[in-house]
């Protein structure tokens, strides 16, 4: 059984290491291990992942993950931002502060589903959103306040997404790393993009 786990871990690391080694966004030193290449590749595909998700998805130990992230953060290859109880990681210099906040909220199921509902229907009310994503109106209100405080949403006249083009681009680009709801939205995203010359 241990041999199967080791082979699975090795395959996962190799897959993300290949992505990490080919991404033009990294500046890795010669002594960088496959684990660090895997972390860089993983973050290129899953920006805004928090420590535990990264560790679990790459099948690494806690200490091993801490060590490599500290090295990558220290040499300027990755950066992090505090997001409530989470520390979220990103390829260094790739995302603006707004995009980092947006990616953090897109990694949370309820806020992501709310934002996708508003991208689908910008005129949706709080009740419409609650009905469409299957949560209570108070849950929508709670997360709407958080999204507003993060600068992703305004509630002056109903709910309105700040910089919807940026959010749409992030959802579509990283849909596979968010979940089925984002993938379904990405598949139909061209219906939501309007070009008016």
Answer with the one of 59, 94, 129 that is the final residue of a domain: 94
Task: Name the pLDDT band for 191 (thresholds 50, 70, 90).
Answer: confident
**pLDDT attached to residue 190:** 73
- Give the range among 33-37, 117-121, 163-167 with minimum mean pLDDT: 33-37
Does residue 141 lie in a domain region?
yes
Does residue 197 lie in a domain region?
no
**pLDDT attached to residue 25:** 43
**pLDDT attached to residue 24:** 44
Token pair 């290859």 is found at 77
Structural domains counted in the chain: 2
Query: What is the chain's mean pLDDT, rounded?
Result: 86
Q: Is 76 helix (H, G, I), strand (E, B) or coil?
A: coil
CATH number of the domain at 179, please.
1.10.10.10
Task: Name the pLDDT band for 172 (thresholds 50, 70, 90).
Answer: very high
In this prediction, residues 69-86 reach a mean pLDDT of 93
**pLDDT attached to residue 65:** 94
**pLDDT attached to residue 28:** 42
- H or E stretch at 161: strand 160-161
Does residue 117 lie in a domain region?
yes
Rounded CA gap, 72 and 25, in Å?
13
The parent domain of residue 77 ranges over 2-94
Task: Name the pLDDT band for 2 (thresholds 50, 70, 90).
Answer: very low
């Amino acid at each position: 059984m241990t041999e199967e786990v080791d082979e699975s871990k090795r395959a996962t690391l190799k897959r993300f290491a290949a992505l990490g080694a080919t991404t033009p966004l990294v500046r890795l030193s010669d002594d960088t291990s496959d684990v660090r290449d895997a972390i860089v590749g993983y973050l290129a595909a899953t920006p805004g992942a928090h420590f535990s998700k990264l560790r679990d998805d790459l099948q690494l130990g806690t200490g091993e993950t801490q060590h490599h992230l500290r090295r990558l953060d220290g040499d300027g290859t990755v950066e992090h931002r505090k997001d409530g109880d989470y520390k979220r990681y990103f390829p260094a210099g790739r995302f603006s502060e707004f995009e980092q906040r947006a990616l953090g909220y897109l990694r949370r199921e309820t806020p992501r589903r709310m934002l996708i509902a508003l991208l689908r229907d910008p005129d949706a009310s709080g009740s419409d959103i609650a009905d469409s994503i299957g949560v209570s109106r108070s849950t929508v209100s709670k997360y709407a306040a958080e999204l507003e405080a993060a600068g992703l949403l305004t509630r002056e006249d109903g709910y309105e997404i700040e910089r919807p083009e940026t959010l749409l681009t992030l959802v579509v680009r990283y849909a596979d790393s968010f979940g089925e709801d984002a993938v379904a939205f990405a598949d139909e995203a061209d219906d939501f993009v309007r070009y008016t010359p």
